A and B are shown apart, each in its own frame.
Chain A
Amino acid sequence: MKKDKLRNGKVLFSDYSLGEGVRKALTLSRDDILFEVKDSKLKGRGGAGFPVSTKWMLGAAAIAERKYIICNADEGEPGTFKDRVLLVEYPELVFEGMIIAGYAIGAKYGIVYLRGEYEYIRKSLEDYLNLMRNENLLGKNILGKEGFDFDIKIHLGSSAYVCGEETALIESLEGNRGEARNRPPYPVNTGFMGMPTSVNNVETLSCIPHIILKGGDWYRNLGTDKSTGTKLFSVSGDCERPDVYEWEWGITINEILEKVGAKNTKAVQVGGASGICVPKSQFDRKISYEDIPTGGSIIIFDENRDMLKVLKNFMEFFVEESCGQCTPCRIGNVKLLEGVKMIENEQYTFAYLDKLKDLAKTMQIASKCGLGQSSPNSFISILENFKNEIFYHENGVENGK
């Protein structure tokens, strides 16, 4: 199945025909696959950047009656929409990545946790799964490989950002409130229904068929030393061409701005609301695990934007989306938002703001899951990098210099 090429990229947005990856994978042994993935140095694209091979090797080593592969399609980080593009335009990559993961780990069951907001994509995904069943890419004895059975179900979420966190996602799948669990134990040991479960992001899984086809060393030669391969970027905000792009890791912010037609940019939020806000003086920094890592959200602000308003929008998001289970995050985000409103109304003291910055640091350490640990990032980086604008009312042009 070939289709018209809409997008361009070296890995994900390159040519691919349905079944190629799985066909090749089934000629290899499980160990060979784990080796290729290790060799590629692929890291998880959901944000945390955990090495995929390490997770899979633990999964493969686990002995259990059932194992699960979960595709995390809960994409909810503000400014992120690349997984949507993969699900809509490249479902074969996502599903084949899951099948290959199942083969490598010894799992028979795949679940796609699709965010409630993406319900409109569900039908086309179900149709695609049926097509793959007809081609025997799913089901029993896949492509004639005796004993290799694998099938995929789609599970819809009901809108909760925190359900993207892997243990909250599993709670949600089990029919509970999406409240993050303590880790360890990690899902690879004790996951869905207490069984070994590998939770991987849509984009991570989509890289797998290409890595299996062309080899781990081919993939490793793209990108930088510690950030191998390419990354999908969801670009939105003040620019001429907002869209999803595939670029190699190591690209600088300046290069991105140039490619998407951004003018008079004063700030770039990298990594969504839980990421950091980068001022103009740092636009030569590289997007990579070595410098600024990201799940791929790039939001661009030009000189006319009010950075305090931006921060307020982010903090409102976290107040709403905190699951409320632990105190630093439940109360902390409310206090940080109050602080932003105090600045807005000019009712703050610097002494109090210093206390809030301490609180922000406490949240980063003491929160139970990544939501509370990273929600203070924008508070800290925006107040620090844009203090001229926010506290001294200088015009935006001078910001961050």
Chain B
Amino acid sequence: MLVFEKTSLAKEIEQLIEKYGNSRSVLLSILQEIQSKHRYISDYAQQEIARHLKIQPVEVYSVISFYAFLNSEPKGRNIVRICKTISCDMKNKMSIVKAIERELGIKMGETTSDNKFTIEYTNCLGLCDEGPAMAINERVFTKLTPQTAVQHIHKVVG
């Protein structure tokens, strides 16, 4: 990580501490903000957060590793999550998965070389009546066909 990236991240974390306070119970809110902006929580960010909250960095890591939506390794700028739980599975989620894999030229769990997309599975999104369902970042898309799924992905900018 470059020095100026570190300083700006340190500043960002300071601002989050100002916004939320420095008690342990704010940890998840802070991690969520870093995650949504950077798509991962770097070792450096973990150390900074730990320092402010007066806990060990390994505790921050242990929390990150517990939750499916938090990660400590870089991912693409946009995360596509396809529901693999039973109701979507029965609505032929595999055809969606295959179409997206073909279109992006990567397999589930991988990131495109331009870092734009990471694709992965998720468990039930609570949209089982409108399956197959997927989420791109925090937006959700339902009643997918292989074609509409791919169209939604191509509409993503940034």
Contact = CB atoms under 8 A, between A and B. Distances in A.
Contacts of A238: 90
A158 interface: yes
B56 interface: no
A115 B69 CA distance: 11
Interface string A88-130: 0000000000000000000000000001111110000000000
20 contacts: A76-B123, A76-B124, A79-B85, A84-B126, A156-B29, A158-B28, A159-B68, A172-B28, A173-B28, A174-B25, A175-B23, A175-B25, A176-B24, A177-B66, A236-B128, A236-B129, A242-B130, A313-B85, A314-B86, A317-B85
Interface string B120-147: 0011111111110001001110000000
Interface string A150-173: 000001111111000000000011
Contact of B86 (A117, A119, A157, A273): A273
Nearest to B88: A236
A75 interface: yes
A243 to B, nearest CB: 5
B89 interface: yes
Interface string A69-82: 00000011111110
A155 B68 CA distance: 17
A236 B87 contact: yes
Contact of B138 (A119, A175, A176, A177): A119
A208 interface: no
Pick the 3 closest A-B CB pairs, nearest first: A175-B27, A158-B67, A236-B128
Contacts of A310: 86
B70 A78 contact: no
A220 B128 CA distance: 31
A56 to B, nearest CB: 24
A279 interface: no
B63 interface: yes
Given A118-B126, A158-B67, A234-B128, A193 B25 contact: yes
Contacts of B135: 117
Interface string B56-90: 00000011001111100000000000001111011
Q: Which of B68, B70, B86, B131 has the most CB of A within 10 A?
A: B86
Interface residues of A, number: 50
B63 A177 contact: yes
A299 interface: yes
A317 B123 contact: yes
Interface of B: 23-29, 31-32, 35, 53, 62-63, 66-70, 84-87, 89-90, 122-131, 135, 138-140
Contacts of B86: 78-79, 237, 269, 273, 299, 310, 313-314
Contacts of B24: 174-176
A80 B25 CA distance: 28
Nearest to B126: A81
A305 B28 contact: no
A301 B89 CA distance: 12
A211 interface: no
A197 to B, nearest CB: 13
Contacts of A317: 85, 123-124
B7 to A, nearest CB: 26
Nearest to A321: B123
A159 B124 contact: no
Nearest to B64: A158
Contacts of A178: 66-67
A55 B22 CA distance: 32
Contacts of B124: 76-80, 317
Given A81-B129, A175-B28, A160 B87 contact: no
Contacts of A268: none
Q: Which of A158, A235, A244, A305 has the most CB of B within 10 A?
A: A158
B66 A160 contact: yes
B52 to A, nearest CB: 12
B113 to A, nearest CB: 27
Contacts of B140: 117, 120
Contacts of B84: 313
A301 B128 CA distance: 14
